[in-house]
């Protein structure tokens, strides 16, 4: 019998703790485990509780203060240990603040030993409603709120919070955020997933009975997303889907990236450049903070440049023109591919050396 596991993510520790406590109290014989990373001391704190009270509180010195080390050194071993204990019928896990659940879900989907004891039932994104729009669409950095996960963590709050909502099986808001913010959350979330107001309204028993569908989450969140987007029925939020079989020109990408990458909106997707024709490259940003990097080889797939933008109010009219300007022109696209064989293309700081990916 596998133990159901509910995983909570978020960038607001208070909203995460509220969701964790609500679920743990509603489930008979549940155990909760909360992990926190102190990026300054590189300590991981594990707190385990059940209905009887505090069971464990331990600090672990991490080799590196990062999510991968925390998962490997304590989070996954702890979840397996709790699942093997017959005292509990369910586990509610609060991941370190600003952690995305995709890596944990991948481990559980591919590790046969863990899969014999743990069933990932659902991933929840807990959203604090102090200022939802700012959390999702501003240029605030995690380190500015002291919720970064390691000393070198330069991620934006919005990029992480948006990705958590996009990956979640259910989103729980700690209070009514207002119509605009609610529309934005719905626009970001995978279509048809529940968005709940108030942790007390969560149906813990129903959540443990279901099973996390990694394929659905991965399809919606993947940079290689190639399905048609559903119609966005919203009074306040907008979505813009820009795509082309042509790649971005590497020089114009460097010179004009701010035209697409800055602004109070979420942007994500994939692109390619002719100097690295075999590489599917990832684009992920929010509120003016943007990350680009290698994702995977294209393999047998046809390369495509596709970016999806989501925001509030009116969609910026210049996005489509900026996207078109950064692509190869139809004439440039007809050039022999060997004309793009160069030793450097200026993208090395983000994508690595060309020779490393050739």
Tokens for 349, please give them: 């700081």
* Cα–Cα dist 127/161, whole Å: 8
Mean pLDDT of 18-43: 94
pLDDT at 109 > cutoff 80:
yes
Range with lowest mean pLDDT among 50-59, 95-104, 224-233? 224-233
Asked whether the CA dihedral 201, 207, 209, 213 is positive or negative, the reply is: positive
* Residue-level pLDDT at 144: 94
Specify the pLDDT at position 53.
Answer: 94
pLDDT attached to residue 216? 85
Pairing mode, strands 289-297 and 279-286: antiparallel
- Please name which of 192, 162, 168 lies closest in space to residue 268, comparing C-alpha atoms: 162
Partners of 285 in the beta sheet? 267, 290
Q: Across the chain, what does the average pLDDT equal?
A: 93
Residue 22 host element (H or E): helix 13-26
Write out the two tokens for 104: 């944990």
Asked if pLDDT for residue 357 goes beyond 80, the answer is no
Segment 18-40 shows an average pLDDT of 94
Helices (H) and strands (E) in the chain, counts: 15, 13
CB 47, CB 54: distance < 8 Å: yes
Work out the average pLDDT over 186-197.
95
SS3 category, 248: strand
- pTM to 2 decimal places: 0.94
If phi > 0 it is left, if psi is from -120 to 50 it is alpha, else beta; for residue 65 that is beta
Q: How many residues are there in the chain?
A: 358
Report the half-sphere exposure of 217 (CA within 13 A, side-chain side).
25
Q: pLDDT tens digits for 311-342?
A: 999 999 999 999 999 999 999 999 888 889 99
CA distance 274 to 311: 30
| 88 to 3, 24, 30, 51, 117: CA distances (angstroms) | 8, 11, 5, 10, 12
Closest by CA position to 141, among listed 281, 8, 285, 316:
285
User: Is the confidence at residue 303, as pLDDT, over 90?
Assistant: yes
24: three-class secondary structure by DSSP: helix
| Contact predicate 147/97, CB 8 Å | yes
| Of the listed ranges 154-168, 222-236, 240-254, the one predicted with least confidence | 222-236
**Using CA atoms, how far apart are residues 284 and 290, in angstroms rounded to an integer?**
6
Instruction: Write out pLDDT tens, residues 244-297.
Output: 999 999 999 999 999 999 899 999 999 999 999 999 999 999 998 999 999 999
Cβ atoms 334, 322 nearer than 8 A: no
The percent of residues above 90 in pLDDT, for the chain, comes to 84
Note the pLDDT of residue 356.
56
Give the CA distances from residue 92 to residues 11, 18, 76, in Å, rounded to whole numbers and listed in that order: 17, 12, 13
Cα 199 from chain centroid (whole Å)? 21
DSSP H or E segment with residue 191: none
**CA–CA gap between residue 38 and residue 156 (Å, rounded):** 18
DSSP 327: B
Measuring CA to CA, which residue among 34, 138, 27 is closest to residue 78?
Answer: 34
Model confidence band, residue 226 (pLDDT cutoffs 50, 70, 90): confident
Q: Which pLDDT value is given to residue 358?
A: 47
Q: In the block, which residue shows the tokens 């080390």?
A: 69
Q: Is the pLDDT at 16 greater than 60, yes or no?
A: yes
Q: What is the pLDDT, as a whole number, of residue 224?
A: 86
Domains and CATH numbers, the chain: 3-221 (3.40.50), 237-357 (3.30.1220.10)
d(CA 179, CA 318): 26
Q: Where are the beta strands (DSSP E) in the chain?
A: 3-9, 30-38, 43-50, 53-61, 90-94, 118-127, 170-173, 195-197, 237-244, 265-271, 279-286, 289-297, 305-312
Assigned token pair, 114: 């863990």
Give the residue-averaged pLDDT of 111-119: 93
């Amino acid at each position: 019998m596998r133990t159901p596991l509910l995983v909570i993510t978020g960038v607001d520790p208070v909203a995460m703790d509220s969701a964790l406590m609500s679920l743990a109290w509603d489930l008979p014989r549940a155990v909760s485990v909360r992990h926190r990373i102190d990026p300054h001391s590189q300590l991981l704190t594990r707190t385990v509780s059940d209905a009887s009270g505090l069971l464990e509180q331990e600090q672990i010195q991490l080799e590196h203060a990062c999510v991968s080390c925390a998962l490997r050194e304590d989070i996954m071993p702890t979840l397996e240990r709790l699942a093997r204990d017959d005292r509990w019928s369910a586990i509610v896990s609060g991941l370190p603040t600003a952690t995305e659940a995709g890596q944990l879900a991948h481990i559980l989907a591919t590790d046969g030993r863990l899969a014999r004891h743990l069933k990932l039932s659902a991933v929840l994104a807990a959203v604090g409603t102090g200022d939802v729009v700012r959390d999702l669409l501003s240029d605030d950095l995690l380190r500015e709120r002291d919720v970064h996960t390691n000393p070198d963590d330069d991620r934006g709050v919005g990029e992480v919070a948006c990705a958590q909502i996009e990956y979640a099986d259910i989103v729980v808001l700690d209070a009514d955020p207002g119509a605009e913010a609610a529309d934005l959350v719905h626009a970001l979330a995978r279509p048809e997933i529940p968005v709940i107001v108030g942790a007390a309204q969560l149906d813990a028993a129903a959540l443990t009975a279901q099973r996390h569908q990694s394929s659905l989450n991965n399809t919606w969140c993947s940079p290689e997303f190639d399905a048609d987007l559903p119609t966005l029925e919203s009074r306040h939020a907008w979505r813009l889907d820009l795509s082309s079989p042509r790649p971005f020109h590497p020089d114009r990408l460097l010179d004009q990236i701010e035209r697409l990458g800055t602004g109070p909106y979420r942007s994500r997707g994939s692109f390619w450049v002719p100097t690295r024709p075999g590489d599917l490259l990832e684009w992920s940003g929010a509120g003016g903070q943007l990350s680009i990097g290698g994702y995977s080889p294209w393999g047998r797939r046809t390369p495509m440049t596709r970016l999806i933008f989501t925001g509030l109010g009116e969609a910026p009219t210049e996005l489509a023109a900026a996207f078109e300007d950064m692509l190869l022109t139809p004439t440039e696209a007809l050039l022999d591919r060997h004309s793009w064989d160069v030793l450097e293309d200026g993208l090395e700081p983000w994508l690595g050396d060309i020779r490393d990916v050739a």
